[in-house]
Structure 1
Amino acid sequence: MSKGSNSSGLRRYNERVLISALRSLGLASKFELARLSNLTPQAVTRIIDDLESAGLVEQRGKLQRGLGQPSTMYSINARGAFSIGVNVGRNDIQILLMDFGGDVIGKVAHEFNVPNPDFLLEKVEQGVSYLQGSLSEEERARLVGVGLAMPWFMGGGSKN
């Protein structure tokens, strides 16, 4: 069994590094991203250009800093991707629709006394369908996944 990483895995990791940096900074030039990520300017240019082509990153104008050409500024395109998160609690379920910028843009919630699997599955299906319906057809194509979080043992909680 070999250890290490392959070039596509490294590329995805570097994309996540740059996306995280853009989330933290809000706006950044390719030069700033290269400096902060310790990637070469050429690597950052290729990755940012690809992320922009995919609609995940967008140009936000130019900024003049000293002499020379103004820097093109980039930011996360909040409408570039969407995800749904399902949080099943001991007494409630929350289903959230989030944009790529990390903002909640839709929410469905239900309370219950006893966690019944059929009830929960029905509410998840209804909630996901409802939240998907709030997106345009083009945005639905950018829905990248549904995540689920729930306690390990649903029946062991006490109400406090």
Structure 2
Amino acid sequence: MALRGTNQEFGRPYNRRIVLESVRLHGPTTRGEIAKRVGLTVQTVSTIVRELEEQRYLVSFRENPKGRGLPPTMLRINTDGGFAIGVHITPIGVNAALIDLSGDVVASLHQSVTNASPADAFEIVGAMAPKLIRRKPKGRMLGIGMALPGPFGVDSMSFVGPTTMTGWENVAIRERLAELTGLPAFLETDMAAAALGEQLYGLGKHFSEYYYLYLGVGLGGALVHEGQVMRGAWGNAGEIGHIPVVPGGEPCPCGNRGCLERYVSLDAYRRAKTSEADWLKTVAPIFRNAITTIENLFDPETVVLGGLASAGLLDRMAELAADLPNSIAARRDRATPRVVVARGGEHSVLRGAAALAVSSVLSPRFGQMFTGERERDILDGRGIAA
């Protein structure tokens, strides 16, 4: 991802985030190195760095001298400069974590609950949030982000079936979350949050164009383009789980038959009531065809396989990609496998949800999505109401 600053007068907040993002990606680093990477003058970078140090987002230090003269002053993210809470509501439970500015999980909590109602979920979150905040009682809390299964705002699909949160129609989620915690609140689909978490804290340092395939209770995904998670016109891009793949196949709660997630998802695995090896053998052809479809549609550098599945299951699914059908991704000059396993682990969604709040500080490209009226409508809860 190419980070470039702007010399226009209104670009100062953007430059501030650009400098922070450069330090996060490449730190420890120097003012001069930052200036070269983002296309700003050393003087401009120095002014921004001074401000960020005063606000405790950055820390400067010198390494031990190895020869004559003083080594240059280095900069890194101040891990304790700010914290955010990430929350993930799924049909099988509620997860929450306190995340620092470097993306590390300070503390996490989990409560198993089947298809929690809004009242139950907010009661659980209301109890979890103070416990997490107490882990850093003097820490600066930047906000709270919540991730939910999508799609949002589609009457026939959003609240129907085992892979969605039934009973959440017409809930002003963001407002309820802000009122409950007293923190700035944000909302995102879990697959987009996971892709954001991977982009910021996982493989994002190595790829700028990839497809994140999210294996959860259902199946979804998100295209990451130039380091930015693409969300679509209404925030629901990536619902690959509802692509019909088996003509006349299993009925899907969405109203169609043979949808991909009826065969490839944790819910499908649970319903199969068979061993992991047998299930993988059964779904292998469907999974391989899905990867090929993604490649032909989006031409990604790679497909990143992540989500709620165990690391072992993700590894074995990636092994199924050793013998993929032909696609535009079958290039002689490939430098990476066509499918890789995400590095963000089980906390990718929580990191991504927290990053919704941290993005105003750390992620200039993601922060841009909050500038449009349509995007604000989607994220503030109005896009979820029926």
1:11-160 matches, within 5 Å, as 11-62=12-63, 70-136=71-137, 138-139=138-139, 142-152=140-150, 153-158=158-163, 159-160=267-268
Q: For the aligned residues, what is the CA RMSD?
A: 2.2
| 3-state SS in 2 of match to 1:49 | helix
| 3-state SS in 2 of match to 1:71 | coil
| 8 A contact 1:29–1:73 mirrored in 2 | yes
| 3-state SS in 2 of match to 1:27 | coil
Shift of 1:110: 1.2
Q: C-alpha offsets along residues 34-61 of structure 1, whole Å, 9 cap, x if unaligned?
A: 0111011111000001000000000121
Compared CA separation, residues 72 and 63, structure 1 to 2 (3 A) = farther
How far, CA to CA, are the matches of 1:155 and 1:133 in structure 2? Answer: 37
| 3-state SS in 2 of match to 1:110 | strand
Question: What is the total number of aligned residue pairs between the two structures?
Answer: 151
Q: Which has the larger radius of gyration?
A: 2
How far, CA to CA, are the matches of 2:132 and 2:29 in structure 1? Answer: 32
Shift of 1:114: 2.5
Which protein has the bigger strand share? Answer: 1
Of residues 68-77 and 21-30 in structure 1, the stretch that sits farther from structure 2 once superposed is: 68-77
How far, CA to CA, are the matches of 1:65 and 1:45 in structure 2? Answer: 25
Shift of 1:131: 0.4
How far, CA to CA, are the matches of 1:134 and 1:69 in structure 2? Answer: 38
How far, CA to CA, are the matches of 2:74 and 2:114 in structure 1? Answer: 50
How far, CA to CA, are the matches of 2:41 and 2:9 in structure 1? Answer: 15
Q: When the two structures are superposed, what TM-score results if normalisation uses the length of structure 2?
A: 0.37
How far, CA to CA, are the matches of 1:67 and 1:154 in structure 2? Answer: 67
Percent pairwise identity: 28
How far, CA to CA, are the matches of 2:82 and 2:33 in structure 1? Answer: 24
How far, CA to CA, are the matches of 1:13 and 1:65 in structure 2? Answer: 36
How far, CA to CA, are the matches of 1:14 and 1:35 in structure 2? Answer: 13
Shift of 1:23: 1.1
Of residues 144-153 and 66-75 in structure 1, the stretch that sits farther from structure 2 once superposed is: 66-75
| 3-state SS in 1 of match to 2:19 | helix
Shift of 1:63: 7.3
Compared CA separation, residues 68 and 31, structure 1 to 2 (3 A) = farther
Shift of 1:133: 1.4
How far, CA to CA, are the matches of 1:65 and 1:21 in structure 2? Answer: 26
One-letter amino acid of the counterpart of residue 161, structure 2: G
Compared CA separation, residues 85 and 112, structure 1 to 2 (3 A) = same
